[in-house]
Amino acid sequence: MNIASKCVLGVLAIGLSPQVKALDVLSTNGTGPVGNCLPALPAYDQQTRKRPLSFINEGVGNVFVTCAFTTEEVSLNVTGFSTRVSNLSGASATVNCTAVVGDELEDADYIAKSITLAPGSEGELSWGTLDNGGLLFAKSVAISCALPPFTGLNRNRITTLLSIL
């Protein structure tokens, strides 16, 4: 028996072995919001500024921003996702965001959250399995945020459970 035949038999034996189990690994990806966030309407374009590390509302009224998170196509098992929010204004500000989880042709789930930030401070809005009845998010994930003047999004993160054989 040649080496190639032995390798094929070895791979087949591993594939048929009842002892082979998947290894579950958490993978977290982060992006600056400039890469995955856009004003929800063209009317908001002139009020927003896409800085290298943040997406800021520099207008006088609220701006709605939509951010789509990138997931691993091989495993749509999202355990959680978040966005870091900042307040550059001289007054307290409340940022409201709604997570939208679903597919284009199906009903989506909407999970709203808010955070009130002191002047010159930052915080985080996050969604996890507790927001989804203890289950992983198995659909596309996006957020829609209402940014008051001089507030912004600074970093988006998503964590996916990958099963590796």
113 φ/ψ sector (left φ>0, alpha ψ -120 to 50, else beta): beta
Q: What does the angle CA 35 – CA 36 – CA 37 come to, to the nearest 5 degrees?
A: 110
Closest residue by Cα to residue 62 from 151, 146, 155, 154 = 146
Residue, of 35 and 154, whose pLDDT is higher: 154
User: Is 127 contained in some domain?
Assistant: yes
Closest residue by Cα to residue 158 from 50, 88, 75 = 75
User: Is 128 contained in some domain?
Assistant: yes
pLDDT at 13: 46
pLDDT tens, position by position, 69-127: 887 665 568 889 999 999 999 999 999 999 998 887 778 899 999 999 999 999 999 99
pLDDT tens, position by position, 123-161: 999 999 899 888 888 888 899 999 999 999 999 988 888
CATH number for the domain spanning 151: value is 2.60.120.260
pLDDT at 84: 95
pLDDT at 89: 95
Q: Is residue 26 pLDDT above 80, yes or no?
A: no
User: Is 43 contained in some domain?
Assistant: yes
User: Is 47 contained in some domain?
Assistant: yes
User: Is 77 contained in some domain?
Assistant: yes
User: Is 8 contained in some domain?
Assistant: no
Q: Is residue 2 pLDDT above 60, yes or no?
A: no
Mean pLDDT of the chain: 82
pLDDT at 125: 97
12 φ/ψ sector (left φ>0, alpha ψ -120 to 50, else beta): alpha
User: Is 33 contained in some domain?
Assistant: yes
Look at the chain and report how many structural domains it folds into.
1
Closest residue by Cα to residue 61 from 77, 44, 76 = 44
pLDDT at 93: 97
Q: Is residue 7 pLDDT above 50, yes or no?
A: no
DSSP 111-147: EEEEEEE-TT-EEEEEEEGGGGTTPPB-SEEEEEEEE
pLDDT at 4: 42
Q: What is the largest CA-CA distance in the chain?
A: 78
User: Is 10 contained in some domain?
Assistant: no
pTM: 0.79
Domain that holds residue 113: 22-164
Q: Is residue 44 pLDDT above 90, yes or no?
A: no
pLDDT at 72: 64
